Chains A and B, each alone.
Chain A
Amino acid sequence: MPSARSETRQGVTMMTPLTARRRVGWQRIGEFIIERLIWIAGISTIVLVALIFIFLLREGLPAFVSVPLSELFGPRWYPIENIFGLWPLLFGSLLVTFGAIVIAVPLGLTTAIYLGEIAPQGQREILKPLIEMLAGIPSIVLGFLGWVALAPLIQRLGAPTGLTAFTGSLLLAYMSLPTIISISEDALYAVPKEYRDGALALGATQWQTIWRVVLPAARSGLVIAVMLGIGRAIGETMAVMMVTGNAANVPALGSGIMFQPVRTMTATIAAEMGEVAQGSQHYHMLFGIGIVLFIITFAINSLATRIVGQPVNRRRRGQL
């Protein structure tokens, strides 16, 4: 494990007093083994991501080979008739995610600003665990509430059914809020205090300081927060499956688009995998959807990491 730090530390080890050296034999071997194991644990994360992708490819690629491209991008998903058009599912996922982001981004960023810039210390110490709790509520519990409480409410607002893209978006928005809030709050926290002091000293109001100084300085972190929020929303399964109505057709464009039932990619896998014969075209196709989901989230997360740059200047609290 070569690294700059290891060299200096090896140097320290070399200075071990002679008395200690007598029993190094077994100890050295033991340490060697432990350090190898730790290295393996570290590398296993890469292996796991690769394995997940390989398994998806192995089970999913046959679908893309056997289904003609024109059908793959077609508007019909009728597994019973062996028609596998991905468009309605992709559209469903994108629509619900888009709705969720439109709701969650303003709410999330504003809450982060409140927590980071406005809330007094005491309030912050209550609110932050509360938001962690929101992150902890299982998606199935929120889905359950959406199903028994929220959907009837939305139906009463005049929609033909309460199980719509909007219902899904609303739930997803609240589920992606903790991600958006905590990452954007970190970004605000990273803005040096001197920036704020400078602005305030020049006579800017608190709002002017936030709007003109703090937010621009935290920009890249805020973009990452939004991206990871999108990643979180697009992969959500259970809650979305329960409240979006699961109709696999492309909804009619127009003003009522959010108030029609849709079906997402994740819900399709969850709902149909239990009923397919292993090795059938339908089975491979569901893994194919898994590949699409993997690639989308992989792209979002890798891109977000690129924006931060390499995480080298991590804060090391409590220096020498």
Chain B
Amino acid sequence: MTRQQMNKIAVGVITAVAALVVIPTVLVIVYIFVQGIGAISWEFLTQPPTNGMTEGGIMPALLGTVYLTFGTAIVSMPLAIGAAIYLAEYAGDTWLTRMVRLAIVNLAGIPSIVYGLFGLGAFVLTMRLGTSIIAGSLTLGIMTLPVVISTAEEALLAVPERFRVTSYSLGATRWQTIWHQVLPQALPGILTGVILGLGRAAGETAPLLFTVAAFYLPDLPKSIFDQTMALPYHLYVISTQVPNMPLDIQYGTALVLLMIVLALTLVATIVRTRMRRRREW
């Protein structure tokens, strides 16, 4: 076999394997869409589950996920953006900075179920928040920190140094420079990070198990100290814990969850590419 033939075979195999990764991804999304679309209706989205959850809709779970996503944003955004500014604009190459970076890598690596344990121990029991929206939001908020921090830091670092230098030369202080020059330029990138983080949080189940999620609640939560249903946990419950559950409701629920998460991911991707194109430097 000549090396040219060898080359052809190798490139062919590599292409085939790449297809083996990409095609199932598309298939999974299409399959859930096809199986689930029949269940989706206005009633499905706006009615609570009825008859032992085997009929009706998913409204309380959907609403719970919306609440939790907002809660997550409120918890993680200020902290994450602050940390990103620290890393990109202030931190020098000291041991402390290296510790911060190590901490972020490890926060990203901690299993989601361990976040659930932490949320249970810290927020539900020690801070006596009980299983509640606020306990869940705090847990999810901490969990999304690393994603938001690293995307936001990238965005800040991408702002050219000459913007800063020009600003200083006009007499601006360091914070004025960050606030008026760097942050506006980096905003789209930071937003991308926030949306990506929220997308991940919206789909998470394990951290909710012991911090927020209710199996079934006839009433909607009245305050942030109430329990709530949540879409991912609801999907888990109806697919494994409820006997004789109609399959189309299961697929419908999976589809709604998938669409929420993919929509957030898509929005983040669009924001990023749009802004990259518009960038003038």
Closest chain-A Cβ to B25's Cβ sits at a distance in Å of: 4
Contact B157 A298 (CB under 8 A): no
Q: Which of A40, A41, A304 has the most CB of B within 10 A?
A: A41
With a cutoff of 8 Å between Cβ atoms, the chain B residues found around residue A107 in the complex are 17, 20-21
Q: Which of A3, A13, A49, A115 has the most CB of B within 10 A?
A: A49
Pick the residue among A17, A141, A210, A293 that contacts B257 (CB under 8 A): A141
Known: A3-B90, A41-B78, A205-B3. A9 touches B171 (CB 8 A): no
Number of interface residues of A (CB under 8 A): 111
Does B79 lie at the interface of the complex (its beta carbon under 8 Å from any beta carbon of A)? yes
Contact A111 B6 (CB under 8 A): no
Pick the residue among A34, A236, A319 that contacts B111 (CB under 8 A): A236
Does A52 lie at the interface of the complex (its beta carbon under 8 Å from any beta carbon of B)? yes
Interface of B is mostly: helix
Closest chain-B Cβ to A275's Cβ sits at a distance in Å of: 11
CB interface residues, B 88-134, toward A, < 8 Å: 90-94, 96, 98-118, 120-122, 125-126
Contact A38 B85 (CB under 8 A): yes
Binds B, one of A68-76, A152-160, A189-197, A310-318: A310-318
Q: How far is A305 from B210 in the complex, measured between Cα atoms in Å?
A: 31
Contact B28 A136 (CB under 8 A): no
With a cutoff of 8 Å between Cβ atoms, the chain A residues found around residue B101 in the complex are 305, 311
With a cutoff of 8 Å between Cβ atoms, the chain A residues found around residue B169 in the complex are 12
Contact A235 B171 (CB under 8 A): no
Contact B92 A3 (CB under 8 A): yes
Closest partner residue, chain A, to B232 (CB atom):
A140
Contact B114 A144 (CB under 8 A): no
Contact B90 A35 (CB under 8 A): yes
Q: How far is A193 from B117 in the complex, measured between Cα atoms in Å?
A: 46
With a cutoff of 8 Å between Cβ atoms, the chain A residues found around residue B21 in the complex are 107-108, 111, 131, 177, 181
Contact B125 A118 (CB under 8 A): no
Q: How far is A16 from B250 in the complex, measured between Cα atoms in Å?
A: 64
Contact A138 B232 (CB under 8 A): yes
Contact A294 B173 (CB under 8 A): no
Q: How far is A238 from B31 in the complex, measured between Cα atoms in Å?
A: 20
Contact A56 B210 (CB under 8 A): no
Binds A, one of B43-51, B160-168, B217-225: B160-168
CB interface residues, B 204-223, toward A, < 8 Å: 204-206, 209-210
Contact A31 B25 (CB under 8 A): no
Closest partner residue, chain B, to A20 (CB atom):
B171
Binds B, one of A84-92, A250-258, A266-274: A266-274
Closest chain-A Cβ to B131's Cβ sits at a distance in Å of: 10
Contact B240 A139 (CB under 8 A): no
With a cutoff of 8 Å between Cβ atoms, the chain B residues found around residue A137 in the complex are 25, 28-29, 203, 258, 261-262
Does B244 lie at the interface of the complex (its beta carbon under 8 Å from any beta carbon of A)? no
With a cutoff of 8 Å between Cβ atoms, the chain B residues found around residue A238 in the complex are 205-206, 232, 236
Does A166 lie at the interface of the complex (its beta carbon under 8 Å from any beta carbon of B)? no
Q: How far is A150 from B69 in the complex, measured between Cα atoms in Å?
A: 30
Pick the residue among B113, B174, B266 that contacts A235 (CB under 8 A): B113
Contact B117 A207 (CB under 8 A): no
Known: A205-B6, A208-B7. A133 touches B265 (CB 8 A): yes
Closest 7 A/B residue pairs (Cβ): A3-B92, A41-B82, A235-B111, A138-B203, A42-B86, A114-B18, A318-B160
- Known pairs A2-B94, A107-B17 / 16 extra A-B pairs, C-beta < 8 Å: A10-B174, A35-B174, A41-B78, A42-B100, A51-B118, A56-B117, A110-B13, A131-B25, A145-B32, A148-B247, A211-B10, A237-B206, A290-B114, A305-B101, A316-B161, A320-B165
